[in-house]
Amino acid sequence: MYIKSLIAAVIISVTVASGAKAEFVTQSLPKPDMRGNGALMQCLQKRESVRQFGRRAVSEQILADMLWAAVGVNRQNGKRTIPTALNSQDLTVYVIKHDGAWQYDAKKHKLIQVSDRDLRPLLATQDYAKEAALDLVYVSTSDEALIGAMHAGSAYQNVGLYCACKGLNNVVRGYFDKEDLAKALNLCENQQIMVTQAVGWPED
């Protein structure tokens, strides 16, 4: 069992658009749990898109496993759980929750906070997108939109299968406030949001 002592918080001062200082944190994640989470064929049979979510929070261990499934490093040579064209590794995953947004650093398996705002209203007008425990935002730096979309598809399918194995609901979404969300996440010009994915436990 992973305890709070595994979470290392390093305070980082960043300058926000207003010129004020905001204190963001870098959070270490528990190592991925490699023990059995269900046979692949059973997970495929259970995979579905569900738009209803309960209020139960997702644990740090499940979040760590989910992000690792999406784009984590699974070999000593640094390659990932998904294939990317020419091993470009152009895909980055952001996590949005009620208390802020974080970038997943796959190489170091940690979260880097990029906002302390609740950015869920930028995800959609549908209530379920704002009620889910968390939303994943898939961002690519590929010059080819099709390549970036392919890589995002591989990542969100991995997450969808992980959710099926763990009994979590999830749905992939292509409708969101792309421009304002990119600004809120402090994305660079070469970073393009491909798609988002709402994740959470079923309704109580």
pLDDT at residue 157 is higher than 80: yes
Residue 128 buriedness (CB in 10 A; 0-12 / 13-18 / 19+): middle
pLDDT at residue 1 is higher than 90: no
This prediction's pTM: 0.86
Greater model confidence, 154 or 36? 154
pLDDT at residue 23 is higher than 90: no
pLDDT at residue 143 is higher than 70: yes
Of all residues in the chain, the percent with pLDDT exceeding 90 is: 75
Greater model confidence, 168 or 11? 168
pLDDT at residue 5 is higher than 70: no
Find out whether 187 and 179 touch, Cβ atoms under 8 Å.
no
Q: Give the chain's domains with CATH numbers.
A: 33-200 (3.40.109.10)
Encode burial over 1-16: b for 16+ CB neighbours within 10 A, e otherwise. Answer: eeeeeeeeeeeeeeee
The mean pLDDT value for 71-77 works out to 95
